[in-house]
């Protein structure tokens, strides 16, 4: 894909060269981005979440265009470390990845990561794409979260289940809220399709990505979910 005169690719992901030109401004903005990001996270889980994310070692990251905007992906030797849905701007998406993976360098994804990117792009434009075989790095993910993510990865596009359904499949009906918290900390958006999990009674439940529930509903609509969904 060819960059335009502003150094942007496709729908608005800035190229690496444009990013380097803005590096000084980005560094100044970075501290503010961290402050805002921390204010948006739940204080009760923030320290544990930060510690977990800090252990998710990523060697590289890249931004890529999708039908919903500029997304990001980070990777390490064990697989995908995180997927970032669009923030308010491409710069904010980049800074969110840098905050999560401060030692990762922006660059061209290796072939296996590019295949994951291609699958995400296809899915977000309404196409068929199976991401269940994409390798993800769960070394720093708590065991309970890993079990939740494994179950959620098996939910087909175009269908939904409830937090209670996931808890039932875990063999613990009373853990619906714990399932919700685990999905709220999901670093593998789309690959672990937490948007396909709703609250009881068809209510939307929460969604931690930028845009909140509106983004969740948009993702479900792209996948062709037809059932009525009640707004919380």
Q: Mind listing the pLDDT tens digit for each residue in 146-184? A: 999 999 999 999 999 999 999 999 998 889 999 999 999
pLDDT tens per residue across span 45-86: 445 544 454 445 679 999 999 999 999 999 999 999 999 999
Task: Give me the pLDDT at residue 32, please.
Answer: 41
More confident residue, 213 or 232: 213
Q: Around Cβ 35, how many Cβ atoms within 10 Å?
A: 10
More confident residue, 116 or 204: 116
Find the catalytic residue in 13, 70, 71, 194: 194
Round the average pLDDT of the chain to a whole number and report it.
82
Average pLDDT over residues 186-205: 94
Residue 2: pLDDT band (50, 70, 90) is very low
How far apart, in Å, are the Cα atoms of 127 and each of 21, 123, 152, 222?
35, 5, 19, 9
Residue 229: pLDDT band (50, 70, 90) is low
Which percentage of the chain shows pLDDT scores above 90? Answer: 65
Q: Tell me the pairing of strands 60-66 and 13-14.
A: unpaired
Active site residue 13: no
Instruction: Answer whether 52's CB lies under 8 Å from 202's CB.
Output: no
Distance (Å, rounded) from C-alpha 208 to C-alpha 193? Answer: 13
More confident residue, 218 or 27: 218
Task: Give me the pLDDT at residue 120, please.
Answer: 98
More confident residue, 36 or 147: 147
Instruction: Answer whether 71's CB lies under 8 Å from 86's CB.
Output: yes
Which percentage of the chain shows pLDDT scores above 70? Answer: 73
What's this model's pTM, rounded to 2 decimal places? 0.78
Question: Which domains does the chain show, CATH number per domain?
Answer: 8-124 (3.30.160.70), 143-222 (1.10.10.10)
């Amino acid at each position: 894909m060819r960059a335009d005169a502003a150094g942007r690719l496709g729908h608005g992901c800035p190229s690496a060269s444009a990013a380097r030109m803005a590096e000084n401004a980005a560094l100044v903005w970075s501290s503010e981005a961290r402050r805002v990001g921390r204010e948006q996270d739940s204080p009760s889980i923030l320290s544990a979440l930060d510690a977990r994310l800090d252990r998710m070692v990523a060697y590289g990251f890249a931004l890529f265009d999708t039908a919903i905007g500029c997304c990001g992906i980070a990777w390490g030797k064990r697989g995908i470390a995180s997927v970032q849905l669009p923030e308010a701007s491409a710069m904010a998406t980049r800074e969110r990845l840098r905050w999560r993976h401060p030692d990762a360098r922006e660059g061209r994804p290796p072939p296996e990561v590019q295949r994951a990117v291609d699958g995400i792009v296809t899915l977000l434009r309404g196409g068929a794409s199976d991401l269940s075989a994409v390798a993800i790095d769960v070394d720093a993910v708590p065991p309970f979260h890993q079990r939740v993510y494994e179950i959620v990865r098996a939910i087909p596009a175009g269908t939904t289940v409830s937090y209670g359904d996931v808890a039932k499949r875990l063999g613990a009906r009373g853990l619906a809220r714990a399932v919700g918290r685990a999905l709220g900390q999901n670093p593998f958006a789309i690959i672990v399709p937490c948007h396909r999990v709703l609250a009881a009674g068809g209510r939307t439940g929460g969604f931690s990505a930028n845009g909140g529930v509106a983004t969740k509903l948009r993702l479900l609509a792209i996948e062709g979910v037809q059932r009525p969904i009640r707004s919380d």
